[in-house]
């Protein structure tokens, strides 16, 4: 039998007597990714990474359950692009609170929000959840920060470029159009020195910074690059999940 770690694939008969150590909430988005990648890119990547990481963790004795990946994220600056689907941060908080409340009622005390979309930011939400659900460990895990993409890709543009194209070539190659269909992913940045130095931030109005919705050139993407990158990301996340599962909830700090 397959490892019982992907909730949407499992019947109650299999999971009803399992006491899970950690629940993973994968969270993606629905938005354009250049001309050649699917709108579900963030969701596809995140669901795959979460499932593979949990599976590896099970092999090391950690009982991890991965919830279905949420396909809608915060996309307030892309609504002028057709069929971008946006959740306001306040709505996202309400959804997250209800999911966490459900998990708490099932006595799961360790919860990982696995984020696969740059527009999502759960930090302030988690601060609020800590007040609502004391005695639980809740964290945000951005899989795109796990390893340095510069070690794997020539162009490290983060949206529909070589990095993400290589990943989707590995995970769902049937959804990738030929690279001859892709734009070059050129993008603009704020003019202010303060923004370039990193101490001023503002959300990016997408159609003002990129013509093809991409950030990063996908021309050098390959399945092999995606496979190598995903292998290392998944391995490190699996190690974290094992460590989290085996650590006493009352002894998390040193």
Question: pLDDT digits over 64-84, tens only?
Answer: 999 999 999 999 999 999 999
Spell 150-168 as b/e; 16+ CB within 10 A means b.
eebbebebebbbbbbbbbb
**pLDDT 10s digits, 31-41:** 999 999 999 99
Architecture category of domain 19-246 in CATH: 3-Layer(aba) Sandwich (3.40)
Confidence band (pLDDT; 50, 70, 90) for 2? Answer: confident
According to the model, what pLDDT value does residue 11 have? 97
- Closest of 164, 207, 213 to residue 185, by C-alpha: 213
Neighbours of 31 (CB within 10 A): 26
**pLDDT 10s digits, 14-28:** 999 999 999 999 999
Distance in angstroms (rounded) separating the CA atoms of residues 19 and 33: 39
205: pLDDT strictly greater than 60:
yes
Contact 152, 220 (CB under 8 A): no
Return the structure tokens found at 210: 């990129």
Strand partners, 215: 159
Distance in angstroms (rounded) separating the CA atoms of residues 206 and 199: 21
Give the predicted TM-score (pTM) of the model. Answer: 0.97
Mean pLDDT of the chain: 97
According to the model, what pLDDT value does residue 206 have? 96
């Amino acid at each position: 039998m397959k490892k019982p770690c992907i909730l949407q694939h499992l019947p109650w008969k299999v999971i009803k007597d399992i006491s899970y150590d950690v629940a993973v909430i994968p969270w993606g988005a629905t938005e354009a990714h250049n001309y050649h990648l699917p709108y579900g890119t963030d969701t596809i990547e995140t669901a795959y990474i979460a499932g593979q990481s949990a599976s590896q963790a099970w092999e090391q004795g950690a009982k991890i359950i991965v919830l279905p990946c949420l396909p809608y994220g915060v996309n307030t600056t892309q609504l002028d692009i057709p069929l971008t689907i946006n959740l306001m941060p306040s709505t996202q908080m309400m959804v997250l609170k209800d999911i966490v409340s459900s998990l708490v009622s099932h006595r799961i005390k360790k919860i990982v929000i696995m984020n696969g979309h740059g527009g999502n930011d759960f930090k302030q939400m988690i601060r609020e959840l800590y007040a609502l659900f004391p005695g639980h460990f809740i964290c945000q895990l951005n899989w795109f920060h796990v390893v340095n993409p510069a070690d794997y890709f020539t162009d490290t543009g983060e949206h529909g470029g070589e990095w993400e194209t290589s990943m989707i070539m590995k995970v769902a190659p049937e959804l990738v159009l030929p690279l001859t269909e892709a734009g070059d992913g050129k993008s603009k940045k704020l003019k202010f020195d303060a923004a370039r130095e990193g101490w001023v931030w503002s959300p990016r109005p997408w159609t003002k910074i990129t013509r093809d919705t991409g950030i990063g050139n996908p021309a050098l993407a390959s399945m092999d690059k995606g496979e190598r990158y995903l292998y290392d990301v998944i391995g490190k996340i699996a190690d974290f999940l094992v460590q989290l599962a085996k650590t006493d909830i009352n002894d998390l700090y040193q």
